[in-house]
Amino acid sequence: MRWLRVVPCLAALFCAQLTLAQSSVPSQIPGHDAVLLGTAWYPEQWPESRWEDDLRLMEAADIKVVRITEFAWSRMEPSEGHYDFEWLDRAIALAAKHHIVSVLGTPTATPPAWLTLKHPEILRIEPDGQRVTHGNRAHASAASVIYREYCRKIAGQMALRYGKNPDVVGWQIDNEYGYALMSYDDETRGQFRKWLKSKYGTLDTLNARWTTAYWSETYDDWNEIPIPVGEHNPGMMLEWKHFITTTWADYQQNQITVLRAHVEPRQFITGNFMGFFDGFDHYPITEPLTFAAWDDYVGTGHLDPVYNGLSHDLTRGFKRQNFWVMETQPGMVNWSRLNNQLNKGEVRVMAWQAVAHGADEVGFWQWRSALNGQEEYHGTLVGADGTPVPVYTEASQIGHEFALTQDALRGTAPVSEVALLYSYDSHWAIQWQKHTEKYDDIGLLKSYYGPLRKLSQSVDVVSANAPLEGYKLVVAPSLNVLPKDLASHLLEYVHNGGHLVLGPRSGMKDEFNGLQAQRQPGYLVDALGGRVEQFYALEKDVPVSGTWGSGEASIWAEQMGSLAPDTKTLLSYGKSNGWLDDQPAVVTRSYGKGRITYIGAVLDEKLMTAAAAWMVQDSGVTPVFGPVPDGVEVSRRRGNGKDVFILINSSQEARNVALPRAMKLLLAGKAASSVELGPYGVEVVQ
Ligand code: GLA
């Protein structure tokens, strides 16, 4: 649901190797295929006599993985302490007979009715004070000590039974982590206060960091601190998000601990995340997992390859390694404003785009709709009658193609010279105080990603705190929260020869979501040799011109100034509100062995393209492949001494791609020096 400056050759070589080492490919199942097709399957919803028909159809489509059990608690533990796993033993064994491995989901997004009846206090209280009723999912409180004990028990029983089962390859904990929903109850409130106390030590410190002298917000007793609902003190709101992150990390660890106690190390443990979903900070949450996975849905409309590519790269960046697409739509969903079917060929484009960006598995949700239940209309591979629906044929094609290319793709992963920095703290800080309703930091990230991806053909999206030494270019479009240690981390990167580009609103806030007692970009002002004199939310577009050509700034403009003698202005504003007229909009300066650039405005597409071209050129970034026509995305997976390129035409017109030399076309099964891609055409070249 939804919701590296040109460096001497040797140094460049060293950096490339470093990046490669970081990108080992632990998400591929040892001894199994390199890239796998999967589906969510719910044997508990069907008579056992039906299972083999389903599995035969899956095998025929080269489906190699089923994810099961993530909602099957009431079937596995029909009453407290009475476990029934025999049906599951048989389901896993039957799947294996059809060469399909199982990923087991812990069923903790759906506590059974006997549990919520016995312990109604585990049911979440909504922000408005209402307790949720049983009968949906994500209805339990992640903070509940009692609930966690039940989660530990069921996960433990499953681990004991399947931790050594050769046909079980891994585990998914919970499902989409309850969309990070919290319970606004006394237990959670108490935990939040305790968490604040352990972080701040004294109320004096907390009051100072949150500047509670403002609006008489001063706290004299920890018990006075509420859970923020709606608009609140920005410091408290950020800490509430941090607390949510800790709560879900602990909720997850409770299950990881019991799983790891009983399961073989070869079995992976993951969770299914949701792209840019911002309920918690995904970097700490994914830290203890074997690899990250996400659920990739378009919803209404059609694939936006730039946004979807960005979302894949975000997920790959969580742990800086390959990932899985645990769920994707077999054509359509049921939860969007208009649940249209993707065009014929688009599902295949989506599956290949996932692999191109580092997915080692793509799983459809779901195989077949339950005959009743909340999601009867959702897209499936098999209809209510149990026979294939039209998109099954496309899924089979994907399955066969994955099987065909597995040898080439085994042990490979994307390797990039460009990194975009993402920060949940900065995202939240901007979201809560947008200043102009049009400000969209994810849209801004995308506006940088689009041209940078096109020019470099490979971009990593990583945490602002991630190691940066392998990158030629690091771009932080919205690093609003920029505390001192993070600034030092970035400065070290620049000092050592990196090019750091900052976007608007950078370096305004400290780690408590308070204003830095200095101008933007805060601790980076000295290195930049420039600062933001004033920021302006724009009523209308402002002309900008300079080294990158001319165009418009919209939504947001920062007046740069107080420039050091060697700080250069790349773009300036034209006539506007008087304040901005003829003032610098983009400035850059050499610092250490590197460079730091500050872009103070939201630029139009043409200027962003020119800006990206300048960044790439100045930093010595080289494209991984070479020129491809518009509408075609090229990606490289590298490893085991080989480079494999995936060409995807997401347009509905044919495209011809010239190859740098004669290469093997793995899908067409021939060698050629150009590729003819039909509408929604895909080719894998080596
Ligand atoms: C989510 C859930 C699935 C299902 C799909 C429907 O991602 O994880 O259980 O509800 O959405 O699109």
Residue (of 108, 112, 109, 91) closest to 100 by Cα position: 91
pLDDT of residue 204: 98
Q: In degrees rounded to 5, what are phi and psi of residue 96?
A: -60, -35
* Residue 360 Cβ contacting ligand 1 at under 6 Å: no
Amino acid sitting at position 575: K
Q: Which residues pair with 636 in a beta bridge?
A: 645
Q: State percent of the chain over pLDDT 70.
A: 95
Is 215 exposed, middle or buried, given 0-12, 13-18 or 19+ CB atoms closer than 10 A?
Answer: exposed
Is 394 annotated in the active site?
A: no
pLDDT class of 1 with cuts at 50, 70, 90: very low
Rounded to the nearest whole angstrom, what is the distance from the C-alpha of residue 213 to the centroid of ligand 1? Answer: 45
Q: What is the 102 CA–ligand 1 centroid distance (Å)?
A: 18
Pocket of ligand 1 contains residue 493 by CB under 6 Å: no
Residues 567-609 pLDDT 10s? 999 999 999 999 999 999 999 999 999 999 999 999 999 999 9
pLDDT beyond 60 at 192: yes
Q: What size, in residues, is the chain?
A: 686
Write out the two tokens for 242: 């941090």
Residue 253, Ramachandran bin (φ over 0: left; ψ between -120 and 50: alpha; else beta): alpha
Overall average pLDDT of the 48-55 stretch = 98
> How far apart are alpha carbons 330 and 364 in whole angstroms?
6
Nearest to 131 by CA among 189, 174, 140: 140
| Residue in 73, 325, 365, 377 to alter for ligand 1 test, most ligand atoms within 8 A of Cβ | 365
pLDDT band at 33 (very low <50, low <70, confident <90, very high): confident
Q: Is 295 in the pocket of ligand 1 (CB under 6 A)?
A: yes
Helix (H/G/I), strand (E/B), else coil: 316: helix
Residue 28: the pLDDT is 66
Q: Yes or no: say if 276 and 282 are a contact pair by the CB < 8 Å rule.
A: no
Q: pLDDT, tens digit, for every residue of 93-107?
A: 999 999 999 999 999
In angstroms, what is the span from residue 376 Cα to ligand 1's centroid?
12
Please check the confidence at residue 17 and state whether its pLDDT lies above 80.
Answer: no
Q: What is the mean pLDDT of the chain?
A: 95
Residue nearest to atom 10 of ligand 1 (CA): 1
* Distance (Å, whole) CA 97 – CA 92: 9
pLDDT of residue 15: 34
Query: 55-80 pLDDT, tens per residue?
Result: 999 999 999 999 999 999 999 999 99
Residue 104 CA, ligand 1 centroid: distance in Å: 16
Pairing state of beta strands 682-685 and 642-649? Answer: antiparallel
**SS3 state of residue 422:** strand
Does the C-beta of 18 come closer than 6 Å to ligand 1? no
In whole angstroms, how far apart are CA 649 and each of 141, 404, 634, 678, 680? 45, 20, 9, 7, 5
Instruction: Express each pLDDT in 316-374 by its tens digit.
Output: 999 999 999 999 999 999 999 999 999 999 999 999 999 999 999 999 999 999 999 99
Mean pLDDT of 256-282: 97
Residues 548-552 have a mean pLDDT of: 98
Average pLDDT over residues 455-466: 98
Is the CB of residue 365 below 6 angstroms from any atom belonging to ligand 1? yes
Catalytic residue selected from 327, 394, 417, 683: 327
Residues 367-425: tens digit of each pLDDT: 999 999 999 999 999 999 999 999 999 999 999 999 999 999 999 999 999 999 999 99
pLDDT-based confidence at residue 30 (cuts at 50, 70, 90) = low
Ligand 1 centroid–CA 614 distance in Å is 41
User: What is the pLDDT averaged over residues 635-652?
Assistant: 96
From 77, 176, 361, 401, the catalytic residue: 176
> Ligand 1 centre and the CA of 365: distance in Å?
7
Phi, psi of 670 (to 5 degrees): -155, 170
Between CA 170 and CA 191 the distance in angstroms is: 32
Pocket residue to mutate for ligand 1, from 68, 295, 311, 334, most atoms within 8 A of Cβ: 295
Tokens of 589: 């300066």
CA of 173 to the centre of ligand 1 (A): 14
Cα gap 614→592, rounded to integer Å:
20
> Is the distance from the beta carbon of residue 110 to the nearest atom of ligand 1 less than 6 Å?
no
Which numbered atom of ligand 1 lies nearest the CA of 335?
12
Crossing angle (nearest 10°) for helices 441-456 and 605-619: 50
Position 9 pLDDT exceeds 90: no
pLDDT of residue 31: 55
Ligand 1 in contact with 618 (CB < 6 A)?
no
Please state, for a pLDDT cut of 90, what percent of the chain lies above it.
94
Per-residue model confidence (pLDDT) at position 32:
67
Residue nearest (by alpha carbon) to ligand 1 atom 1: 1
Q: Give the model's confidence band at 12: pLDDT under 50 very low, under 70 low, under 90 confident, else very high.
A: very low
Find out whether 62 and 405 touch, Cβ atoms under 8 Å.
Answer: no
Judge if the beta carbon of residue 1 lies within 6 A of ligand 1. Answer: yes
- The predicted pLDDT at position 543 comes to 98
Three-state secondary structure string covering 95-114: HHHCCCEEEEECCCCCCCHH
> For atom 11 of ligand 1, which residue has the closest CA?
1
Distance CA 173, CA 253 (A): 10
Cα separation, 588 vs 134, whole angstroms: 57
Q: Can you tell me the mean pLDDT for 628-637?
A: 97
**Does ligand 1 come within 6 angstroms of the Cβ of 375?**
yes
Look up 59 and say whether it is catalytic: no
- What's the gap in Å between 337 CA and the centre of ligand 1? 15
DSSP 227-288: PP-SS--HHHHHHHHHHHHHHHHHHHHHHHHHHHHHS-TTSEEE-EE-TT--SS-HHHHHTT
Q: Say if residues 594 and 492 touch (Cβ distance below 8 Å).
A: no
Nearest protein Cα to ligand 1, atom 5: 1
